[in-house]
Structure 1
């Protein structure tokens, strides 16, 4: 028995909760007061045509009385952490899937509750409401994929139960691309075999998908038939990458301004590496233009968590790759990522006295910023950094290296 808890318009709902005067009114959340793109919207706004990703100007044309709420990521993370902790009172088997979603494995708890599936679902929803004051939707089935699909069926404030023996039949008419993890690329591949809906999957041998996509392909074949074998993952492993990005004023061409934004991201990546005792040697530096991303993978001489060394790569990127004909295209987003984070193994005997001094300096800076807030102590150019608040990445978790909001 697997349940998926899905919060309803999570960020917007928190804004309405904290400001009762906004209840039952169209609210949208943007990245800061100057943000021009809608991150999410309340159900009142959605009912009037407002969608995630819509430009604020366009949205106001549709809904003149739309209320703009600058995002407050730390508040959202606080509420999410409280919810995830409370869900462990239902079952200790909880997988935090995102900031507003969690899987619960209730298989071993059914006899303890001694009640119907519907009652267990109501207890889950009541638990969330009690700790947060927010409504959620829940889906319950025998596997993760079907439970996640079910949770979307009755939003907001819904409870959908798909008994495992009915899962294949229930999913048969569902588009395969409606299943979590089946993107448009996989969808196009399946369409070549006449597979558009889950019920069509039986036309194709599991070996065909296995040969093309490996274990993921085999899992998708089973997912479409209500038999997703994927277990819950409670533990958060070592991250495959650690990165930070920032939306910047559209059509930015000034290299000095661009460098400030990249410096901001380099320092954030470096601080996060140090916080969890990681180093990295391979980094991705990128800028997003109307023509798409321009990015390069660059290496430092040795593994590092020093923002100065990462910024040296960013300067190289700007001077070599950005100046090669791309500078005429304005930038609207930057990103810096450590692609091979690895646990540190101590300083070693070859560290010079200067290296040791730098280590101590960085440790002191981290201590100050941890106590007084991110970038309370920073390089002078970062005084001109973006006022846009931090964002919660899809991989955010309350604890560990995927917590992108800790200072």
Structure 2
């Protein structure tokens, strides 16, 4: 580990079962009971589950029907994003009392760089403890935290002592921590990749570390180099207070499967309108329109088209989505449609910023803590 580089102290704060916890906070009769936010109706998909529901195997992204089979006493609650956003904003205000280097990942989690902080506290672990206490006092909700030398290790650590706990991985412990880690715990290693790694004898960080950069690149493509460096504790991505949006999307799951493109046009009209509204609100435009199709057998298909100019107008988004819909025959009846716009004009700003950084900074693949 190099001592000639600035030390980073990164905290990853993750709220505990956030949506479900907010609902239980606002509705005392739900406390201590298994609840699912979203997922009601025949085709609903769960957005979040309380810890009482998780004991039965209920998870986010699970269909409401399956969740109800696992937990017959499950209580379904409608989502209330306006309320979740309100609570999230209050939590972020607490973060900013300690540092301006706050990178939100979603409404319920964020990275904080407290290397230099507003209270002059040298211990990142104590800051994390204070933040979690403040969140509880101000909102009545609990949070977990991971503290370490970079964003990757901090995020993995935040999941260790959930709920309402924290874990610090000190610089001298990072390598051993990563070597002992189950490969499924590596952020960025999904279920499919984990299965592929298992087939190649990679079960832990130590197994992963034994593979060469060439081997990992050959077997896992561009992600191979990412795996090679993170298992060595090398992840130099800074906390970015102003994350540049890469895409914007909207989608709808239907109460009944749709079997004809004609029946889907009205749905696409509403989705395109929502995408356009979000683009206008964010003051961005994009060039690449992607149509997402989820079939009744849950297989997923995407079709994309890149235009020579930036768009945000609903009519153009809709027409492009319609062209993509009729591009080829549907494989089955459809349960979900979505439209996303990527290749946004924010990417131009990001590219210029990156080029400027490259001129002034030489990237060193070393530890930073």
The answer to whether TM tops 0.5 is: yes
Q: Map Cα deviations across residues 314-353 of structure 1 (whole Å, 9 max, x no partner).
A: 33344453xx3x27x211100112233327xxxxxxxxxx
Query: CA–CA distance in 1 between the matches of 2:72 and 2:15?
Result: 27
Moved more, 273-282 or 81-90: 273-282
CA distance in structure 1 between the partners assigned to 2:280 and 2:162 by the alignment: 41
Judging changes above 3 Å, is the alpha-carbon distance between structure 1 residues 280 and 243 closer, same or farther for their aligned structure 2 residues? same
Seen in structure 2, the aligned counterparts of structure 1 residues 98 and 187 have a Cα distance that, compared at 3 Å, is: same
Aligned to 1:262: 268
Distance 1:301 1:50 in 2: 45
**Structure 1 stretch 156-165 or stretch 248-257: which is displaced more?**
248-257
CA distance in 2, matches of 1:80, 1:255: 39
Residue 293 of structure 2 contacts residue 338 of structure 2 at CA under 8 Å; is this kept in 1?
yes
C-alpha root-mean-square deviation of aligned residues, in Å? 3.0
- When normalised by structure 1's length, the TM-score is 0.74
1:253 to 1:105, Cα distance in 2 relative to 1, 3 A: same
Matches within 5 A, 1:25-64: 25-30=33-38, 36-64=44-72
CA distance 1:155–1:307, change in 2 (3 Å): same
Task: Encode CA deviations 1:238-273: one digit per residue, 9 max, x unaligned.
Answer: x33222112122422254542121111111222233
Helix, strand or coil at the partner of 1:57: helix
Aligned to 1:12: 20
Instruction: Please tell me whether residue 173 in structure 1 is matched to residue 180 in structure 2.
Output: yes
After superposition, the C-alpha distances for 1:383-406 in whole angstroms (9 at most, x for unaligned) are xxxxxxxxxxxxxxxxxxxxxxxx
The alpha-carbon distance between structure 1 residues 45 and 286, as it changes in their structure 2 partners (threshold 3 A), is closer
Deviations 1:295-328 (A, max 9, x none): 432356754322122222333344453xx3x27x
Greater Cα offset, 272-281 or 143-152 = 272-281
Q: Could you tell me which residue of structure 1 aligns to residue 248 of structure 2?
A: 242
The structural deviation recorded for 1:138 is 0.9
Q: Which residue of 2 aligns with 1:386?
A: none
What is the distance in 2 between the residues matched to 1:330 and 1:310?
23
Q: Structure 2 vs 1, CA of residues 229 and 266 (structure 1 numbering), >3 Å: closer, same or farther?
A: same
Q: Give the corresponding residue for 2:209.
A: 202
Counterpart contact for 1:300–1:309, Cα < 8 Å: no
What is aligned with 1:353? none
Report the CA distance between 1:213 and its aligned residue: 6.7
Q: Spell out the pairing of 1:1-400 with structure 2 (5 A cutoff).
A: 1-30=9-38, 36-109=44-117, 112-113=120-121, 117-184=124-191, 186-187=193-194, 194-206=201-213, 208-209=215-216, 217-237=224-244, 239-290=245-296, 292-298=299-305, 303-321=310-328, 324=329, 326=330, 329-342=332-345
| Contact 2:289-2:321 within 8 A present in 1 as well | no
How far apart, in 2, do the equivalents of 1:63 and 1:193 lie?
36
Q: The residue matched to 1:230 in structure 2 has which SS?
A: coil
User: Is this contact kept in 2: 1:266–1:336, CA < 8 A?
Assistant: yes
Which structure is larger by alpha-carbon Rg, 1 or 2?
A: 1
Instruction: Determine the C-alpha separation between the residues in 2 that align with 1:143 and 1:177.
Output: 19
Contact 2:39 2:76 in 1 (8 A): no
Number of residues paired by the alignment? 339
Shift of 1:102: 0.9
Equivalent-residue separation in structure 1 for 2:217 and 2:70 (angstroms): 46
CA contact (8 A) 1:270 1:305 kept: yes
In structure 1, list runs of 5 or more residues that go unmatched: 344-407
Helix, strand or coil: the match of 1:113? coil
